[in-house]
Structure 1
Amino acid sequence: MSDAVATPSQGPLAMICGGGALPLAIADYVAARGRKVVLFPLIGAADGLPVENYPHHWIYIGQIGKFMRLARAEGASDVVFIGALVRPRILQTRPDLKALMIMPRVLKAFRGGDDHLLTGMARLLEDEGFHLRGAHEVAPEILAPAGVLGSVQPSEADRADIELGLDYLDAASPFDIGQAVAIANRHVLAVEAAEGTDQMLARVAELRANGRVRSAKGRGVMVKAPKRHQDRRFDLPSIGPRTVEGVAQAGLAGIAVVAGATVVAEADKLLAAADRAGIFIVSVPERRS
């Protein structure tokens, strides 16, 4: 989605993969530039991910020592985290000996929001000589450009809802809660928390079915934006075809994201689905604090 080109580092890229379409899309972009990609799909998160076309090693999220050993054997010092991941309980991570040795730091990372957790885990790897990269650094094509991305245009009322959504997300960002909010007629319908965007949209659909949403169907916007001061190597807001499906089922008019700070999965499918559903997708300039 962007014409920018990242300067690739030397050596293979290790990708720790959760679920969804993004890990393989990014692997394809990186491999097309001639860089070797080694996938580390996470058991319980990336199950079913078709990784056969790449060198890969299945690991549990707590197998820090195993990851380090295998990544070093592959010659990879650059690491990318990408894909959907439901935060596990600490005992579900299957910690190996290395993880147990640094367990106090692991436990400290788990005490906080997702951004706190990911940044804490990143520091653990960086202390071992690895370099954490953002997916957008190795595959800038995935970032949303500015402007209306499909054929449907947002109305002035939609743009007012977008501004309110951005105001809310900016104000809430210090609490490390979520990256999305649903707004209709300048009324907050739902806020993303631990359930994730898809479930937030399902909640709006349920509220509408129960008569708790008073705005007409086809009004309202789902707004996504990164948190203020977020470590953008991890967990940038993302949208894909499933997002369009959820927005349509929730009876909203469209999607608003931040240009250059939002990952777009399966862009062609996303835009085709949005046009079919009459859903607008607009990418707005980032606010500078």
Structure 2
Amino acid sequence: MRLSPKPPEAVASGAPLAIICGGGAFPLAVAESARRAGREVVLFPIRGFAGPEVEAWPHVWIHIGRFGHLTAEMRRRGCREVVMIGNVLRPRVRDIRLDWTTFWLLPAAFRMLRGGDDHLLTSLARFFEEAGFRLVGAHDVAPEILLPAGQLGRIGPSVEELEDIALGCRVLDVTGPLDIGQGLVVMNKHVVAMEAAEGTDLMLARIAELRANGRIKMPARCGVLIKRPKVGQDRRLDLPSLGVRTVEGVARAGLAGIALEAGGVIAAESEALIRAADAAGVFVYGVDPSAGVESGR
């Protein structure tokens, strides 16, 4: 079902920005950045995921599955551009509350749910574009959330850790087009975990458990978490993210540090992230995708 013609490339100047909010700190970080740039915003927090702090902003609470209600509210407020940001788990069918627009879209919606996360999000983006909205990346609105290249804290990776990073990047080059995760853990040139449906935090908890039960016998402060977007991913959606919680998980898992693709990974509070990494003795290193992995200390 085609809802309306696709939007023109140019969006009317000064139109409010719609921010569809999942959980976490990112939606408000993007909203603050847009406001500093002089842009009016309207938040559309998703019930069950977004927190009550969104109510300090102009907002309309929404339910998953009420696509017609959402797009009608965005039009009523003059929004033409939309950002989707924040944590949202893939819904169960019985948890979706349908309106008539979504009901007519059900065949496409069921096809959308059959596949990986990138397939799901790209299909969702197409719905918005066909409804007359322009989807933009959160990092286009708030470029400061992108992490840069190089050593980001007091600690840098060793030569051996850079070799682990290079291996991890090569593996993600292969798995990315298959829509499998955005991260993995490499120890001593051995891939010991890949991120899948459980997400980064639970993958790191699994590493900690494997250390505790003796399945991983490497010494402490060995191994690297590597995060980067999937090859071919629509970067307007679901860029990998890091936060203080990630650093804490890396430290509990006994890893040496975190490597990320510079300009392809976001952090809502980068200064707090680096402070936490320095305090935990964990390195954070941004790999320039155009230059590859440099030699270490």
Count of residue correspondences: 282
Aligned to 1:144: 147
Gapped runs of 5+ residues in structure 2?
1-10, 292-297
- Give the aligned residue type for 2:134: H
Structure 1 residue 181: Cα displacement: 0.1
Q: Which amino acid aligns with 1:98?
A: T
Alignment partner, residue 17 of structure 2 = 13
Residue 43 of structure 1 and its aligned partner are, at CA, apart by: 1.0
The reply to whether residue 209 of structure 1 matches residue 212 of structure 2 is yes
Matches within 5 A, 1:94-173: 94-173=97-176
Distance 2:261 2:203 in 1: 19
When the two structures are superposed, what TM-score results if normalisation uses the length of structure 2?
0.92
Counterpart of 1:250?
253
How far apart in 1 are the matches of 2:160 and 2:12? 43
Determine helix, strand or coil for the equivalent of 1:181. Answer: strand
Residue of structure 2 equivalent to 1:232: 235
d(CA) in 2 for partners of 1:39, 1:90: 25
* SS of the residue 2:165 aligns to: helix
1 CA distance for matches of 2:203 and 2:137? 26
CA distance in 2, matches of 1:140, 1:90: 35
Q: Percentage identity across aligned positions?
A: 53
**Deviation above 3 Å: which 4+ runs of structure 1?**
7-10
Q: Deviations over 1:8-41 (max 9, x none)?
A: 9531110111111111111111111111111111
Q: CA deviation at 1:265?
A: 2.0
Equivalent residue for 2:192, pick from 189, 196, 206 = 189
RMSD value, Cα: 1.6
Amino acid at match of 1:182: V
The 1:191–1:15 alpha-carbon spacing in structure 2 relative to 1, beyond 3 Å, is same
CA 162–102 in structure 1, closer or farther in 2 if over 3 Å, else same: same
User: Which sections of structure 1, spanning at least 5 residues, go unmatched?
Assistant: 1-6
Contact 2:64/2:97 (<8 A) preserved: yes
**1:38 correspondence with 2:61:** no
Say if 1:247 and 1:80 are closer, same or farther in 2 by CA, change over 3 A: same
Q: What is the CA deviation profile of residues 158-209 of structure 1, one whole-angstrom value per residue up to 9, with x for unaligned ones?
A: 1011011101111111210100001111111110000001110111011111
